[in-house]
Amino acid sequence: MSDLPRKAVTRTAKLAALPLGFAGRATWGLGRRIGGKSAEIVARELQQRTAEQLFKVLGELKGGAMKFGQAMSVFESALPEELAGPYRAALTKLQDAAPPMPTRTVHTVLEERLGERWRELFLSFEDKPAAAASIGQVHRAVWHDGREVAVKVQYPGAGEALLSDLSQLGRFARLLGPLIPGMDIKPLIAELRDRVTEELDYELEAQAQREHAATFADDPDVLVPDVVHQSDQVLVTEWIDGIPLAEVIADGAPDQRDRAGQLLARFLFSGPARTRLLHADPHPGNFRLLPPEDGGEGWRLGVLDFGTVDRLPGGLPQTIGDCLRMTLEGKAEEVYALLCEEGFVKESIDLDPDAVLDYLLPIIEPAQVEEFTFTRAWMRSQAARIADVRSPAHQLGKQLNLPPSYLLIHRVTLSTIGVLCQLNATVRLRDELESWVPGFLPSAAAGAPAAPAAEAQA
């Protein structure tokens, strides 16, 4: 394929074809029904064609369009099953696949950023990319000291493309909304746009990855590859093998699914407590399931791509743990007061505390039991409950507010739960909350150390 299209008019035209394509296929479907085909068969064919076009356009454009597709892909668990099938295959492809950059472009970037003699830095370099993502692609190589490395090369013009795509996607967010019932697409696009500058800065990414690699260096469960070299638009890190999480989702054994789910939940909650950073891009393409090391007891989780992180100097806010604990204890008045204090309920809004408790309890069901099996059916039931305009949950949800400081935490948590549902994993979520989330245990709420179990595991 050609280089990443940089001209705004070119990319805008391709993105504009998406809603136009939706309308065109609807007309085509009407004709098929008039011709005698059943509504169910026509709807299935429409969904398949729409999914194929979605993947084709977003994958070719990379940039913000593909970033949006990746963010959407972790929510496919929320789709009704009759819609999920056609979209699932197309959206999950976006997690770690896209048409590659031409070799000549890769070599040009490496020459510009690493110098004319860039090849001398490597004992070998594979021109064929091992993976391609939203703003760059990864090549496998051997560093001059013999280490196997991953070389991430940023697409030329990626920054301009990201901003252009996300602005355009924001204009027809309402048309994309039905893909994920119960979720407002516009804030997701706005939040992705806010993270563009950070993700393009490989120096920031290298810093975040180094901090994680150092913290998890001796961890028996989580492996973060260290940074080998970094320059503008090129990032070299240690290479890790393993089973991509997308493959575990597709056909992993039950023990692999459960182990991957447990470690994913552990990394989500332990990361902020240990590094004061939140890995904020939890789609399956960024994780690998690694076999046990010699003498090891279980599969490990390999974590990639630290381009998007949330900096949390105090770790996860204690409000989260306090709210979870008091909700489980049925303290409606206390929960409501805390939500009002933190800005989740605006001053102009007056809600019934018991109704708020009824709204929250089904969502935190996984924290009520020792272990919980995350399924697509459970995720769909939650999405349907909140999306149904006739339900009390929908009416109450519309009146709640999400403070900006919680936006990324909320999206990452929701995305991780989406992946757990894709995995169909049985997870001891409560164990991770007790170990890592300040305020979840009554002792932590009373002023004792936030997570005594965390220190033992660190």
Cα dihedral 366, 370, 374, 378 sign: negative
Contact 168, 12 (CB under 8 A): yes
CB 287 within 8 A of CB 304: yes
Q: Which of 395, 320, 410 is nearest to 359 (CA)?
A: 395
For residue 424, report the phi and psi dihedrals to the nearest 5 degrees.
Answer: 55, 45
Q: Cα–Cα–Cα angle for 50, 245, 301, nearest 5°?
A: 155
| Max Cα distance, the chain (Å) | 71
Is 222:300 a contact under the CB 8 Å cutoff? yes
* Dist. CA 429–CA 264, nearest whole Å: 10
**Residues 275, 278: Cα–Cα separation, whole Å:** 8
CB count within 10 Å of CB 197 equals 12
What does the alpha-carbon distance between residue 308 and residue 311 come to, in Å, rounded to a whole number?
10
* Residue 281 annotated in active site: yes
Closest CA to 440 of 111, 135, 92, 448: 448
d(CA 189, CA 70): 12
- Let me know: does 246 contact 216? Beta carbons within 8 Å: no
Q: Is the dihedral of CA 98, 102, 107, 113 positive or negative?
A: negative
Q: If we measure between CA atoms, which residue out of 110, 170, 116 comes closest to residue 137?
A: 110
The SS3 of residue 139 is strand
Strands 300-303 and 222-223: parallel
Helix axes 158-171, 185-194, angle to 10 degrees: 160
Rounded to whole angstroms, how far apart are CA atoms 360 and 350? 17
Which residue in 96, 165, 281, 322 is the catalytic one? 281
Residue with tokens 């549902």: 421
The catalytic residue positions are 281
